[in-house]
Chains A and B, each alone.
Chain A
Amino acid sequence: MSLGPILTLARKSLFNRRFTALLTVLAIALSVTLFIGVDKIRNGAREGFDRTISGTDLIVGARSGSINLLLYSVFRIGNATNNVSWESYERWAAHENVAWTIPISLGDSHRGYRVMGTTQAYFDHYLYGDKKPLELSQGKRFEDVFDAVLGADVARELGYELEREISVAHGIGATSFANHDDKPFTVVGILKKTGTPVDRTIHVSLKGIEAIHIGWESGTASPLARMVTADQVRDMPLKPKAITAFLVGLESRIAVLRLQRDINEYREEPLLAIIPGVALSQLWSVVGIAETALTAIAGFVVFTGLLGMLTTIMTSLNERRREMAILRSLGARPWHIFALLLSEGALLALIGSMVGVVLVYGGLAVAGPIIGAQSGIFLGALAPGFYDVAVIGVIVVASVVLGCIPAFRAYRNSLADGLTIRV
C-alpha cells in the first residue's frame, strides 16, 4: 500500500480527536510565532535602522559614547549629554574635505514629537534608505523664523494641515509645564512618508530654536522671555550659541578616517565623530547578546511545544490499540502503523508551524506601526521568505524524529498484539 491512504487515515483520525489536536497545533503555533517573531523583529529593526541614514559620512557631537550619539542624533532615542559650540561647528564645517554639514538642535517637543532645529542643508543633503532625499508632500521648506515642516506621521496622527499654528514645549516629555506658547510656529510644509524617525519629527530652523529660547538661558523662562514678542525676535541677530550635533558629508570618502581622527583629537572642545555604519554595527554587537539569548529561549519554547505534541500522541497510543489491530486485520503492515503515527505528528507540526508563521505576519502587520510609534524603531520590510519555509521544514523534520518514539511503540505494540483487540 502506498502512503496516500495512510495520510488520509492520519488526517481523519486527527480530525476525530480535533480538540486535543487543536491544542497541540496551538502550542506549536505559538512557539513558532515566538521563534520567528524574535527573528523578524531583529531583522526588521536592523533593516529599519540601516535605512534611516545613508550618504552621511560622519556624525559629530559632544564627547560621549558613539552608540549614544548615534541614537540621539539620528533615531531620536535618548538625549545628548552636552552640546557642540557653534564655533566648533563652523570650524569643522569649513574644513577643506567637507562637502556639506547639517547642524541639528534637539531638546524641545510638541505633544510628544521631537522638534529639531536645522538648516536648509537638511533638505538638500539628508538621505535615507537607498540614498533617497527627503521630499515634501505639501507646502514648502521653512523660511521664516517661525515656520515648521512636519514629518508625515506627525501631520497624520495630529491631523495637522498647512497654516496650523503649533506651540513648542520645553523639554521632550509628552506633557510639559514649560511652554514656548508665546511664540507659536506655523506649519508651512509636510514631508512625504519615509519610514524613518524623520516622520515623527517637527523641523524648524535653527533661528526658530534660538528665538523661542531668548530669556531661557537659565533653563526656565525669565521675565525677559515673555517681554520679547515674536515680531521683535525676527529683527534680532539669532545666531545659535550651540547645537546638539551635526552630520557631515565629505568631498571624498577616502578622507573619512583621517577627518574622524582629527575631530576626535580636536583640542578646543571635546568632540566625538562617528561613522554611522560602524556605530550601527557596534550597536548590533551589543544587542546581539540579547538576541542570541532570546533566540535560544524561543528555540527551547519550540522544543517544549514539540514535546507537548509527543506527550499527546504517546498518551493516545493505548486507547488506539484496537484501531491498530483493526488496521492490521485489514492487511496494514506494522510499517504502515509506524507511518500512520509519524504522519500524524508531522501533520500537527506542519499545521502548527504554518499557523505560527501566519500569526507572526498578521501580528507584525498590526503591531509594527504601534512599535514604530512608541519606540521610534521602524521595522523594515517583512516579506515572508526562505527563512520561514526553512523553520517550518526544520520543525516538521524534528517532529518526525520525535514522532519515531510513539511510532516505534505503536509498531511494537501492533507486532505483539497482532489481531488481539485490547480495549
Chain B
Amino acid sequence: MAEDQTHPVIEITDLSFAWRSQQPVLDIERFAVQAGERLFLHGPSGSGKSTLLGVLAGVLMANRGTITVLGQDLRRLSAARRDQFRSEHIGIIFQMFNLLPYLSLVDNVTLPCRFSKHRRARLGTDSAALDQEAKRLLERLRLPEEALSRRDVTELSVGQQQRVAAARALIGSPELVIADEPTSSLDADARGSFIDLLSEECAKAKTTLLFVSHDLSLAERFGRTVDLMEINRVPLDRKVA
C-alpha cells in the first residue's frame, strides 16, 4: 500500500453529527478511504453506521468538521447540489428492498442514469446502449438467464434482487459505491459470492467500495477493515438507536 499513495476518496476530519439539538451520535476525528480501496467498515447496530453513510452520501448535514468526498467539501454544497453530487458519483446498495416494484428489471438498473446525465453520458446517449450495459452488468453479476426474463422484479429471490441492486449501483461507473449491509439477508454461500462479484466489478471500474456490516466474518474478504466503534468517540450506550 505504501507505494500506492493515491488521493483519498473520502476524507473526514473532526466530524460531529447530532439529530436536532440532542447529544451527538457521531464524533469522528479522522477517517479516510483511498481511491480504489475496498474498505470494510465494521459496526454493530446502533453504532451510527447509517448516520455516517447518510453524512457521506450528503443526505445528512454534519454539525461540525470537514467531509470531503472526491475532493468536494460536502458542507459547502447546497442540499440540491449534494443530491446532484450523490447521483453523479455514488452508487448505494441497501440491505434489502432495493428495487422499485413498478419498474422492470432493466429499468431498475438504468434508473440512476435518469437522475444523472453524467453517468448516462459515460454509456453513450442512446437508450439501447443503456439497456445493453444493464444487461451486461446483470450478466457479469451472474444473474441467471431465467431471472433476466422475469417481468416482475418482486418475483426474484432476495439474492437475485441484491445483484440487481449492485448492477444499479455500478452502472455508469460512479467513483464510489456504498453498500449498507447488502448481504445480511443472504445465506452464507450467497454472501461470499456476492461480495466477490461486487469487488471484482468495482476493481474493473476502478470504483472505490465502502462496505458496511456488523458481520465481522466478512472482513477477511476486504483489503482493510475499520471498526466504527474505534473511530467514533461517542460511546454506544449514549446513542439513540
List chain A positions with a Cβ less than 8 A from chain B.
1, 5, 9, 12-13, 15-17, 322-323, 325-335, 418-421, 423
Given contacts A15-B102, A326-B94, A328-B59, contact A419 B50 (CB under 8 A): yes
Contact A330 B102 (CB under 8 A): no
Whether B94 contacts A1 by the Cβ 8 Å rule is: no
Contact at B87–A330, with CB atoms within 8 Å? Answer: yes
The listed residue (B53, B101, B116) touching A331 by CB distance below 8 A is B116
Find out whether the CB atom of B103 lies under 8 angstroms from the CB atom of A12: yes
Please measure, in the bound complex, the distance between the C-alpha atom of A325 and the C-alpha atom of B57, giving whole angstroms. Answer: 12
Closest 5 CB pairs of A and B: A331-B87, A16-B102, A418-B59, A329-B92, A5-B114
Residues of B at the A interface (CB closer than 8 Å) are 50, 53-54, 57, 59-60, 79-80, 83-84, 86-88, 92, 94-103, 111-112, 114-116, 168, 180
Given A331-B83, A331-B88: A13 and B115 interface contact (C-beta under 8 Å): no
Partner of B97 from the list A13, A17, A423 (CB cut-off 8 Å) is A423
CA–CA, A16 and B98, complex, Å: 17
Which residues from A are CB-within-8-Å of B114? 1, 5
Given contacts A331-B84, A418-B60, A423-B97, contact A13 B112 (CB under 8 A): no
Interface residues of chain A: helix, strand, loop or mixed (majority): helix
CB < 8 Å A-B pair total? 73
CB neighbours of B180 from chain A (8 A): 419
Whether A331 and B86, one on each chain, are in contact in the complex, defined by CB atoms closer than 8 angstroms, is yes
Cα distance A421–B95 in the bound complex, in angstroms: 9
B112-A421 in contact (CB<8A): no
| A-B residue pairs in contact (CB < 8 Å), sample of 11 | A13-B102, A16-B102, A328-B83, A330-B86, A332-B83, A332-B87, A332-B115, A418-B60, A419-B53, A419-B92, A420-B54
B116 contact set on A, CB distance < 8 A: 331
Known: A418-B54, A418-B59. A333 touches B83 (CB 8 A): yes
Point out the residue from A12, A333, A421 that lies within 8 Å of B94, measured CB to CB. Answer: A421
- Other-chain contact of A323, B60, B100, B115 (Cβ < 8 Å): B100
Give A325 to B101 CA distance when docked, in angstroms. 14
Query: Complex: how many Å from CA A419 to CA B92?
Result: 9
When chains A and B are docked, how far (Å) is the Cα of A15 from the Cα of B103? 10
A1 touches B115 (CB 8 A): yes
CA distance A423 to B98 in the complex (A): 12
Q: B88: nearest residue on chain A (CB-CB)? A: A331
Alpha-carbon distance A419/B103, docked complex (angstroms) = 20
CB closest chain-B residue, reference A17: B102
Chain A hits for B92, CB < 8 A:
329-330, 419
Find the A residue at minimum CB distance from B92: A329
Apart from A330-B87, A331-B87, list 12 A-B contacts with CB within 8 A.
A5-B115, A9-B100, A326-B94, A329-B92, A330-B86, A330-B111, A331-B84, A331-B112, A331-B115, A334-B79, A418-B60, A419-B59
Which residues of A have CB within 8 Å of B99? 326
Given A1-B114, A323-B100, residue A329 in contact with residue B54 (CB < 8 A) = no
B80 with A333: CB separation less than 8 A: yes
Please name all residues of chain A whose beta carbon is closer than 8 Å to the beta carbon of B50 when the two chains form the complex: 419-420
Pair A330/B112 contact, Cβ less than 8 Å: yes
> How long is the Cα–Cα vector from A421 to B185 in the complex, in angstroms?
14
Q: How far is the CA of A1 from the CA of B103 in the complex (A)?
A: 19
A334 to B78, CA, bound (A): 13
Residue in chain B with minimal CB distance to A10:
B102
The chain B residue with its CB closest to the CB of A5 is B114
A residues less than 8 Å from B80 (CB atoms): 333, 335
Distance (whole angstroms) from the CB of B194 to the closest CB of chain A: 18
User: Which chain A positions have C-beta within 8 A of B115?
Assistant: 1, 5, 330-332
Residues of B within 8 A of A12 (CB): 102-103
- In the complex, which residue of chain A has the Cβ closest to the Cβ of B111? A330
What residues on B are CB-neighbors of A327 within 8 Å?
100
Residues on B with C-beta less than 8 A from A330 are 86-87, 92, 111-112, 115, 168
Across the interface, do A326 and B87 meet the contact criterion of CB distance under 8 Å? no
Contacts A419-B54, A420-B50 given; does A326 touch B100 at CB 8 Å: yes
For B117, give the chain A residue with the smallest CB separation: A1
Beta-carbon nearest neighbor of B154 in chain A:
A16
Contact of B101 among A1, A16, A334, A420 (CB under 8 A): A16
Asked if B98 and A326 make an inter-chain contact with CB atoms under 8 angstroms apart, the answer reads yes
Which residue of chain A has its CB nearest to the CB of B54?
A418
Q: Which residues of A contact B87 (CB under 8 A)?
A: 1, 330-332
Contact A333 B102 (CB under 8 A): no
Interface centre among A12, A17, A335 (most CB of B within 10 A): A12
